[in-house]
Amino acid sequence: MDKFVIRGGEPLLGTVRISGAKNAALPCMAAALLTDQPVILENIPQVRDIQTTRNLLAAMGAEVELGFGRAQHRTSIQCANLSSPEASYELVKTMRASTLVLGPLVARCGRARVSLPGGCAIGARPIDLHIKGLEQLGAKIAQEHGYVEASATRLKGAEIAFDKITVTGTEDLLMAATLAEGETVLQNCAREPEVADLADLLNKMGASIEGAGTSTIRVQGVSKLNGAKHRIIPDRIEAGTFIIAGAMTGGDLNIAGCEPTHLEAVLNKLREAGVKLKINGESVRVMGDNPFTAADMSTEEHPGFPTDCQAQYMALATQAEGTSVVTENIFENRFMHAQELVRMGANIKIEGRRAVVRGKTPLQSAAVMCSDLRASASLVLAALVADGETILDRVYHLDRGYEHFEEKLRGVGAQIRRMGDVFGKK
Ligand code: EPU
């Protein structure tokens, strides 16, 4: 198991370029299941979850050429014959987003067999809303031996109101509705930019979707979709992570190739805390030369502050003057990083869904453990300002979703290196 060794104390200086959004790329890859023609995706990030999705699609009979190293990371997926419309437990357990194939498979093949994901480090994360929505579209669903089995001759358009806002649930049903007969109206949808990006791709493939990015989406079903070429949007969570890193380390960092309009809640909260930011087209410059102060933050669905930047914000709050109350409203158990930050010297008390962070506390190096993707990012940020050498274990969590994280950080002056576990490697 790889580890990171990080020596803190260096301000991040220079320019870092943002990669394509993992959470947009995953549903766009699943959308390729809806057609027998090639779907070409550019700006696919080179991260573990993309490779897992490649394996998932390939196991069903798809031809997937990941474009890492090619211009624009151009990736091509063709699902001419789907011999086995199944997602096994082996794949779903390593990546919950595998359940995104459920809707497209039942829409295209008339059947799907997908493992139930089970709980994960950040909460229970059920998929009941995906299942309920597919039933409303006319699919017959059975749950057996840990699998969801869905079947339908052809899905039929319906009015579906989500009981709770769900990102991949919205994406799953949106994909299913494109090939359903008649009109589908989805209400109380997730408004994340990744949903709008998926709809953009689906419309290029011949779907008829209006309203993606708002809470009501209308889909006129079509009988067939075509291949298409599409460029994935920049990763707003990666951008948010680097912006916070620039502020925390007292650096002067230019975050290039991002979409600042997708980051408004994060930028506004950082401004409230006194962080100096300059927006220039597709770049955000963060100037960390002044001290920042505590600001309470609550996570919300987009356009609110993203839960995927909560852990990183908590690391920043340890370095702010005063008390910040961080409230996590999306997931019930997303504070695993807090105890590790405490081990580095932070003063954090957890009270249910609230974390009370008292700053500013000097952070010290320690051996710390990554528990999930964004928790790991927050520990890297803490290590960048800690005194001494921090060793971060289980960085495979980071590799799931940050492209070349340590190279990018090193490029702007961080002292970080990857270390293979000498005992673990054969
Ligand atoms: N929920 C249900 N029933 C469902 C679906 C969701 O109760 O059928 C609940 C969840 O338990 C949670 C809330 O609804 O409490 C929101 O979950 P959502 O479905 O929106 O999360 P997701 O679609 O599984 C995506 C991202 C996550 C991100 C969340 C919230 C992808 C592939 N994943 O997950 O990203 O945290 O939305 O914004 O898009 C990450 O990248 O680190 C990550 C975890």
Cis bond before residue 360 (omega within 30° of 0): yes
User: Which helix or strand (DSSP H or E) is residue 41 part of?
Assistant: strand 39-42
Quick one: tokens of 298?
A: 């609550």
Looking at the chain, the number of H-run helices and the number of E-run strands are 14, 24
Predicted confidence at residue 420, as pLDDT, reads: 78
Predicted confidence at residue 424, as pLDDT, reads: 42
Q: Which amino acid makes up residue 277?
A: L
Predicted confidence at residue 421, as pLDDT, reads: 54
Identify any residues that bridge with 150 across adjacent strands, giving them in sequence order: 112, 141
**Segments of the chain with pLDDT less than 50:** 423-426
Predicted confidence at residue 128, as pLDDT, reads: 94
Residue whose CA is closest, atom 19 of ligand 1?
166
For the stretch 280-332, pLDDT in tens is: 999 999 998 888 999 999 999 999 999 999 999 999 999 999 999 999 999 98
Cα of 155 vs centre of ligand 1, distance in Å, is: 25
Cα of 242 vs centre of ligand 1, distance in Å, is: 22
Quick one: tokens of 191?
A: 């408004």
pTM: 0.97
CB 288 within 8 A of CB 248: yes
* Dist CA 364 CA 345 (whole Å): 6
User: Which helix or strand (DSSP H or E) is residue 418 part of?
Assistant: strand 415-419
Name the DSSP letter for residue 164: S
Predicted confidence at residue 422, as pLDDT, reads: 52
Crossing angle between the packed helical segments 128-136 and 102-109, to the nearest 10 degrees: 30
Residue whose CA is closest, atom 20 of ligand 1?
166
Name the DSSP letter for residue 401: T
Name the DSSP letter for residue 320: S
Q: Which amino acid makes up residue 415?
A: Q
> Which residue ranges have their beta carbon within 6 Å of ligand 1?
23, 26, 96-97, 123-130, 164, 166-169, 190, 194, 307-308, 330-331, 373-374, 401
How does DSSP assign 277-307, residue by residue? EEEETTEEEEE--S--B---EEB-STTSB-G
Residue whose CA is closest, atom 43 of ligand 1?
308
